[in-house]
Amino acid sequence: MAPPATVDGHREKILILDFGSQYTQLIARRVREAHVYCEIHPYSMTLDAMRAFAPRGIILSGGHQSVYADGAPALEPEMFRLGVPILGICYGMQLMARHCGGTVAASNRREYGPALVTSLPDCGELFREFFQETPTQVWMSHGDHVTALPPGFRVAGRSDNAPVAAMFDPERHLYGVQFHPEVNHTPRGESIIDRFVRGLCACQGLWTPGHFIDWAVDHVRATVGGDQVILGLSGGVDSSVTAALVHRAIGDQLTCVFVDNGLLRLHEGDEVMATFAEHMGLKVIRVDAQEEFMANLAGVTDPERKRRIIGHTFIRVFEREARRIDGARWLAQGTIYPDVIESAGAKTGVATAIKSHHNVGGLPEDMGLALLEPLRELFKDEVRQVGEELGLPHRMLYRHPFPGPGLGVRILGEVKPEYADLLRQADAIYMAELHASGHYERISQAFAVFLPVRSVGVMGDGRTYEYVIALRAVETKDFMTAAWYPMPYELLSRIANRIINEVSGVNRVAYDITSKPPGTIEWE
Q: Does 404 bind ligand XMP (CB under 6 A)?
A: yes
The contact pattern for ligand XMP, residues 300-319, with x = CB under 6 A and - = no contact, is -------x------------
Question: Are 24 and 61 spatial neighbours (Cβ–Cβ below 8 Å)?
Answer: yes
Q: Which of 35, 64, 90, 173 does the annotation list as catalytic?
A: 90
Q: Is 100 a catalytic residue?
A: no
Q: Is 38 a catalytic residue?
A: no
CB of 474 to ligand XMP, least distance (A): 9
Query: What is the spatial distance between Cα 508 and Cα 181, in angstroms, rounded to a whole number?
Result: 48
Q: Does 227 bind ligand XMP (CB under 6 A)?
A: no
Longest CA pairwise span in the chain (Å): 87
Listing DSSP states for 50-118 in one string gives HHHH--SEEEE---SS-TTSTT-----GGGGGG-S-EEEETHHHHHHHHHTT-EEEEEEEEEEEEEEEE
Query: What is the spatial distance between Cα 208 and Cα 386, in angstroms, rounded to a whole number?
Result: 9
* Identity of the amino acid at 135: P
Q: Is 182 a catalytic residue?
A: yes
CB of 297 to ligand XMP, least distance (A): 14
Cβ-based nearer residue to ligand XMP, 145 or 358: 358
Q: Does 262 bind ligand XMP (CB under 6 A)?
A: no
Quote the Cα angle for 308-270-445, to 5°: 55
Exposure string (b/e) for 437-475, b if CB count within 10 Å is 16 or more? eebbeebbbbbbbbbeeeeeeeeeeeebebbbbbbbbbe
Task: Give alpha helix (H) positions in 10-54.
Answer: 24-33, 47-53
Q: Does 250 bind ligand XMP (CB under 6 A)?
A: no
Q: Site residues for ligand XMP, window 451-480 (CB under 6 A)?
A: 479
Q: Does 63 bind ligand XMP (CB under 6 A)?
A: no
Question: Are 472 and 444 spatial neighbours (Cβ–Cβ below 8 Å)?
Answer: no
CB of 264 to ligand XMP, least distance (A): 13
Q: Does 235 bind ligand XMP (CB under 6 A)?
A: no
End-to-end CA distance of the chain: 60
User: 504 in helix, strand or coil?
Assistant: coil
CB of 416 to ligand XMP, least distance (A): 20
CB of 22 to ligand XMP, least distance (A): 18
Cβ-based nearer residue to ligand XMP, 96 or 446: 446
Cβ-based nearer residue to ligand XMP, 245 or 521: 521
Closest CA to 93 of 177, 214, 17: 177
Question: Are 168 and 122 spatial neighbours (Cβ–Cβ below 8 Å)?
Answer: no
Cβ-based nearer residue to ligand XMP, 150 or 405: 405
Which secondary structure element, helix H or strand E, spans residue 451, and what is its range?
Answer: strand 445-459
Cβ-based nearer residue to ligand XMP, 44 or 356: 356
Q: Does 324 bind ligand XMP (CB under 6 A)?
A: no
Q: Which residues fall within 8 angstroms of residue 203, CB to CB, at 6 or more apart?
A: 12, 14, 34, 36, 56, 57, 197
Q: Does 520 bind ligand XMP (CB under 6 A)?
A: yes
For ligand XMP (CB under 6 A), the number of binding residues is 17
CB of 447 to ligand XMP, least distance (A): 8
Question: Are 115 and 140 spatial neighbours (Cβ–Cβ below 8 Å)?
Answer: yes
Q: Site residues for ligand XMP, window 194-223 (CB under 6 A)?
A: none
CA dist list (Å): 442 to 82, 387, 398, 439: 45, 21, 11, 5
CB of 355 to ligand XMP, least distance (A): 5
The contact pattern for ligand XMP, residues 331-370, with x = CB under 6 A and - = no contact, is -----------------------xx-xxx-----------
Q: Which of 12, 39, 111, 182 does the annotation list as catalytic?
A: 182
Cβ-based nearer residue to ligand XMP, 198 or 307: 307
Chain contacts with ligand XMP (rule: CB under 6 A):
307, 354-355, 357-359, 401, 403-405, 409, 445, 479, 516, 520-522
Supply the residues annotated as catalytic: 90, 180, 182
